[in-house]
Structure 1
Amino acid sequence: MTPPNNITLSKDKKLLTVSYKDNHYALTSEFLRVYSPSAEVRGHGPGQETLQLNKQDVSISSLVPMGNYAISIHFNDGHTTGIYSWSYLLHLGADKEELWLDYCNRVKENSDNNKNYHKISI
Structure 2
Amino acid sequence: MTKIPTAIQLHKASRTLTLKYASGEQFDLPAEFLRVHSPSAEVQGHGKPVLQFGKLGVGLTKVEPAGNYALKLTFDDGHDSGLFTWDYLYQLGQRQAELWDDYLQELNRAGKSRDPNEQAVRLML
Is this contact kept in 1: 2:43–2:50, CA < 8 A?
yes
- Say whether the 8 Å CA contact 1:13–1:61 is kept in structure 2: no
Q: How many matched pairs?
A: 116
The RMSD of aligned alpha carbons is 1.9
Separation in 2, partners of 1:96, 1:71: 18
CA contact (8 A) 2:5 2:19 kept: yes
Alignment of 1:54 onto 2:61: no
Cα offset, 1:12, TM superposition? 1.4
Q: 1:31 is matched with which residue?
A: 33
Provide structure 1 residue ranges, at least 5 long, that are not aligned to the other structure.
Answer: none
CA distance, structure 1, for counterparts of residue 123 and residue 12 of structure 2: 42
Task: Look up the SS of the partner of 1:51 in the other structure.
Answer: coil
What whole-Å deviation, never above 9, does each CA across 1:74-101 have from its counterpart, x for those lacking one?
Answer: 0000000020000000000000000000
Q: Is 1:92 aligned to 2:82, yes or no?
A: no
**4+ long deviations beyond 4 Å:** none
Q: Select the residue among 35, 42, 45 that pairs with 2:44.
A: 42
Which protein has the larger Cα radius of gyration, Structure 1 or Structure 2?
Answer: 1
| Distance of 1:78 and 1:6 partners within structure 2 | 25
TM-score, normalization: structure 1? Answer: 0.88
Amino acid corresponding to residue 81 of structure 1 in structure 2: S
Q: Name the structure 2 match of 1:115.
A: 122
Change (3 A) 1:27 1:40: same
Percent of paired sites with the same residue: 40
The code of the aligned residue for 1:77 comes to: D
SS in 1 for 2:56: coil
Note if 1:21 corresponds to 2:22.
yes
> Equivalent residue for 2:117?
none
Q: Once the 2 structures are TM-superposed, how far is the Cα of residue 114 of structure 1 from its aligned partner?
A: 5.5
* Higher RCO (C-alpha 8 Å, min separation 6): 2
Inter-partner Cα distance in structure 1 for 2:63 and 2:12: 13
Q: Which has the higher helix share?
A: 1
Separation of aligned partners in 2, 1:21 and 1:65: 19
